[in-house]
Structure 1
């Protein structure tokens, strides 16, 4: 089993482990963090189950799911979670998603993380298209994706069902041949 580690400037990515469950729960269990996600805050047990699924995905052939701890490159603290899911029917395309601890909000970490995910997807995995969907109200995610070089493609109406009802999604994407490693 190969452990994924990918670093850039002030952030690093690595596969999640059981030891990450408490730090990930501080993110996934926080109602402020999950306000734009399509699920309610997760319990500690639910986060442990997500980590178990992510660890099982490491051994899959081909590997289609990467759930990675986002770590501060200097302090090595877990400050977020990133997900890259390769589409099985279109293996050169993947969806990204991410969540960051509120302590690092407003510092450009989201933009750096999107850049890191794009670099990982294009350089390490050889993907052609990487996309992400966000809540229309999640303006920090919009800014992070646009600043990192993704293009806003449009709106999918009533795309996901959340604890508060149906929600539209705004889709952003980057293409390998248009992407500039910023």
Structure 2
């Protein structure tokens, strides 16, 4: 298994561990943080199951799913979670997703995180296309993806079912050749 460690100026990405469950619950269990996600806040037990699945996915060959802890570079504490899933039928394309503790919002951390995910996908995994979908109401995610160099592609109507009903998604993407020219 190839261990993931990526470092940026303010953030790092590393494999999640069982010890991260309480820190990840601060993301997955928070109603403010999950308001734009397609699920209700998770319990600590549900987060533990997600971590177990992430550990199983990390051992898979070939590996298609990366669930990574977002670590503050100075304090070394887990402040969020990042996900990159390589498409099975299109192995040069991957979807990203991310969540940060709400006390980290408004500091440009989301943009740094998207940049780190793009660098990981393009430089370390050799991907050609990386995309992400967001809630139309999630303007901070829109700003983070656009500022990081992703392009808004359009709207997928009734893309995901949430606890509040069907929700559209706005898709953003970056292509490897465009990204390397930045």
In which range does the TM-score fall when normalised by the shorter chain? over 0.9
Could you tell me which residue of structure 2 aligns to residue 114 of structure 1? 114
Distance 2:145 2:26 in 1: 24
Could you tell me which residue of structure 2 aligns to residue 10 of structure 1? 10
Could you tell me which residue of structure 1 aligns to residue 63 of structure 2? 63
Give the aligned CA root-mean-square deviation in angstroms: 0.9
- Structure 1 residues 138-173: Cα deviation after superposition (integer angstroms, max 9, x where no partner): 000000000000000000000000000000000000
- Structure 1 residues 112-154: Cα deviation after superposition (integer angstroms, max 9, x where no partner): 0000000000000000000000000000000000000000000
TM-score, normalised to structure 2, is: 0.98
92 and 75 in structure 1: CA distance in 2 versus 1, 3 angstrom threshold? same
State the Cα distance separating 1:103 from its structure 2 match: 1.0
- Structure 1 residues 70-92: Cα deviation after superposition (integer angstroms, max 9, x where no partner): 00111111000000000000000
State the Cα distance separating 1:180 from its structure 2 match: 3.9
Could you tell me which residue of structure 1 aligns to residue 42 of structure 2? 42
Kept in 2, the 8 Å contact 1:119–1:181? The answer is no
Distance 1:181 1:72 in 2: 28
DSSP-derived class of the 1:177 partner: helix
Could you tell me which residue of structure 1 aligns to residue 104 of structure 2? 104
Distance 1:42 1:92 in 2: 31
Gaps of 5+ in 1: none
Deviation >4 Å, runs of 4+: none
